[in-house]
Structure 1
Amino acid sequence: MPLEFSTDPTTLLILAAVAFVAGFIDAIAGGGGLLTTPALMTAGLPPHLVLGTNKLSSTFGSAMASYTFFRRKLFHPKQWIRALVGTAVGALIGAGVAHYLPAEWINQMLPVIVFGCGVYLLFGGTPKAPLDSDAPIKKKWQLPQGLGLGFYDGVAGPGTGAFWTVSTLLLYPLDLVKASGVARSMNFVSNAAALSVFIFSGQVNWLIGLSMGSSLMVGAFFGARTAITGGAKFIRPVFITVVLGLTVRLAWQHWFH
């Protein structure tokens, strides 16, 4: 990448502004990559640096969102140890094979899968919170869920937050707010694990990644607080809108473009 792209203040400012909006949206419903990835490509980053730099900035945003849900006691790590471990391992493996695995068939299926998540939440209703807010979370599906979604985030990434939200709603007795807390926390784990591989491979632009990451953290802070305060009535329409936008983008990118 030419040096001026990495040091141009105007470019950094625009990317930071995009990252703030992406962080706000991502903390609520996921899909922040819908904004940051095209922005990085438009800024002139070579394709091999886009994924790594995006992972760096996304890790900052997901860390802030995850911490906000944790601080509000909407995510309890002790209940999700198997999922956390599975997610980290899956993301490491996924990022490691990302450069060798033909992803064409995955890309063709992405719009259908993401759209299915939106349809489920649109017509499937929103689960209500269980009477016992401290009810134990079943551990049967945590490891395979974490391995699968962690691997996917390491290999590709788009829609990971949506997949976590919907699969968590289907598998566990949680409401939408707590499911969002799980999604943000697991997204952070997979982002951090995959990022370590990109750093080792030298595929990160640190100046742009840290600049965007800082803005993503601020956006994620406000987004998570808004999601927690607004509850399911606020999260559902934002989630569905993001999912539909992601579906259109993926369909255009992998089917028609």
Structure 2
Amino acid sequence: MEILATSINWLVLAGAGLLAGFIDAIVGGGGLLSIPALLSVGMPAHLSLGTNKLASSMSSSTAAYTYYKKHLFDPRLWKKCFIATAVGAVVGSVLVYLIDGDLLEKILPVIVILVALYSLLFRKVLHGEFHPPKHRPRTKRQLLQGFILGSYDGFAGPGLGSMWIVSSRVLYKLSFLKSCALSRAMTFVSNIVALAIFIYHGNVDFAVGLLLGSSMMLGSYIGTHSAIRFGLPFIRPLFITMVIIIAIHLSWNAWT
């Protein structure tokens, strides 16, 4: 592969993937590093998006499995959410072709900024350690949350991890760590659906995707264990920082 022809390109992808996987495993937003890294080594934009979905699927699967092994996520409680997220991802992927791309670019920063403002103004979302009820999370809430956020990931995706964390805290009173775990599991679902669509259209470079995905898996493994070990004091500032960075990044691209 031309993209892997030099050791510098390999180091760029490996380094960016390691850091992207670390961030993605905790609060999401790793695509802000992995996609520019793919573009920087000469990969076309559409191919970068598809290849990044392969790498992101590998990373999110590692994070979700690690949280599961640490008993922070029980798939049996979230079956409806899995299904709704998958259906939403398909719907969102179709909507991409029906809505004006310029309008989308201007809407996305607003959505992410609203998430940031909500998180900062309603401090309990970030600072409180909730004690969730012991019964199964309500089906209607799972279906609504999964469909909306699955659609958003299929449609665009920036800031998705933050949206999963905030909405899970509000809807189910989950602890921050359990919200992170749910976020990674559902992101994996929507990533896989989107990846299948990119593969169908021939927009995935498997060699580069596997290389980037391997480094993201390592970063994800380190990130999840760091989050579990150091807890909320470690996650909270990283969460706030990434939401603000994503909002600035999207605003800059859309309005300048």
Normalised-by-shorter TM-score class: over 0.9
The Cα of 1:108 is off from its aligned counterpart by 1.0
Q: Identical aligned pairs, as a percentage?
A: 43
Q: Is the 8 A contact 2:132 2:173 kept in 1?
A: no
Distance 2:198 2:26 in 1: 26
Q: Is the 8 A contact 1:127 1:174 kept in 2?
A: no
Give the alignment of 1:118-197 within 5 angstroms: 118-124=116-122, 125=124, 126-130=127-131, 134-197=134-197
Match of 2:207 in 1: 207
Q: Is the 8 A contact 1:96 1:197 kept in 2?
A: no
3-state secondary structure, aligned to 2:2: helix
The Cα of 1:6 is off from its aligned counterpart by 4.2
Q: Is the 8 A contact 2:26 2:235 kept in 1?
A: yes
Distance 2:22 2:63 in 1: 9
Give the alignment of 1:33-72 within 5 angstroms: 33-72=31-70
3-state secondary structure, aligned to 1:140: helix
- CA deviations over 1:213-254 (Å, ceiling 9, x no partner): 000000000101111122122111000001111111100001
- CA deviations over 1:94-119 (Å, ceiling 9, x no partner): 22443443233232122222122223
Of the candidates 23, 26, 34, which is equivalent to residue 25 of structure 1?
Answer: 23
The Cα of 1:7 is off from its aligned counterpart by 3.7
Q: Is the 8 A contact 2:154 2:190 kept in 1?
A: yes
Distance 2:92 2:7 in 1: 34
Q: Which runs of 5+ in 1 are unaligned?
A: none
The Cα of 1:153 is off from its aligned counterpart by 0.7
**What RMSD, in angstroms, separates the aligned Cα atoms of the two structures?**
1.6
- CA deviations over 1:131-184 (Å, ceiling 9, x no partner): 76x443222211121111111111211111111111111111211111111111
Q: Is the 8 A contact 1:95 1:198 kept in 2?
A: no
Distance change (3 Å), C-alpha of 1:127 and 1:137: farther
Distance 1:75 1:210 in 2: 26
3-state secondary structure, aligned to 1:141: helix
Q: Is the 8 A contact 1:130 1:173 kept in 2?
A: yes
The Cα of 1:40 is off from its aligned counterpart by 1.3
Q: Is the 8 A contact 1:121 1:236 kept in 2?
A: no
Give the TM-score, by structure 1 length. 0.93
Q: Is the 8 A contact 2:165 2:179 kept in 1?
A: yes
Distance 2:220 2:248 in 1: 24
> Post-superposition, which runs of at least 4 consecutive aligned residues in structure 1 deviate over 4 A?
none
Q: Is the 8 A contact 1:52 1:195 kept in 2?
A: yes
Q: Is the 8 A contact 2:132 2:175 kept in 1?
A: no
Give the alignment of 1:39-118 within 5 angstroms: 39-118=37-116
Paired AA for residue 61 in structure 2 = A
Count of aligned pairs = 253
Distance change (3 Å), C-alpha of 1:179 and 1:214: same
Paired AA for residue 52 in structure 2 = N
More moved, 88-97 vs 48-57: 88-97
Give the TM-score, by structure 2 length. 0.93
More moved, 105-114 vs 72-81: 105-114
Distance 1:131 1:44 in 2: 47
